[in-house]
Amino acid sequence: MAQALHPAATDHLPVFITEPGQTDYLFNVVVIFLLIGVLVLGNFYFQLHAFPERRAHRTSKVQMEIVAILALISLFTHNHIYWIAGLLLAFIQIPDFSSPLHSIAQSLAKLSGRDAETAENLALVADEPVEASDPAQRTEAHGGGI
């Protein structure tokens, strides 16, 4: 038996109004749409947020690590200035100052005839022991006698 309409109801009800106990299709469509929308927008947000770090992969290792740290700080603190600083740092090409200075130091060492001592000093700085050919040089490099 069909239910009688309430006297205040109109003869024509919109499609999204369902009878009691029936499936609400509009609700199901909206829930699916919102879930997909949240996933798409979240993916876009994280892709945009990681842009400086992906851009910094073309730079030096130290610069890339600084940009990655700035991006993480920005993500967790919601301070956008860190993200902007990381983005600017990712686009700036920092010149390599150490290679020319190292080359100048090596050239001066060759001109002065101190190649073995320079190699030992560089090895001590890098924490890689280099054995000198002369035992006297080895004791001088390590601070005197035995």
Tokens of 82: 């860190």
Of residues 3 and 41, more confidence is placed in 41
Q: What is the pLDDT of residues 116-126, one digit of tens each?
A: 555 556 656 65
The residue behind tokens 């109801």 is 9
E strands along 20-126, which residues? none
Q: What number is the average pLDDT over the span 104-121?
A: 75
Question: Is residue 7 over pLDDT 70?
Answer: yes
Q: What is the pLDDT of residues 33-89, one digit of tens each?
A: 999 999 999 999 989 888 998 888 888 888 889 999 999 999 899 888 999 999 999
pLDDT given for residue 35 in this prediction: 98
pLDDT given for residue 2 in this prediction: 61
pLDDT given for residue 139 in this prediction: 52
- Do 89 and 82 meet the contact criterion of CB atoms below 8 Å apart? no
Residues 6+ apart with CB under 8 A from 105: 118
- Share above pLDDT 90 across residues of the chain, in percent, rounded to a whole number: 24
* Distance from the Cα of residue 32 to its chain's centroid: 32
pLDDT given for residue 44 in this prediction: 95
pLDDT given for residue 92 in this prediction: 86
Q: What number is the average pLDDT over the span 94-106?
A: 84
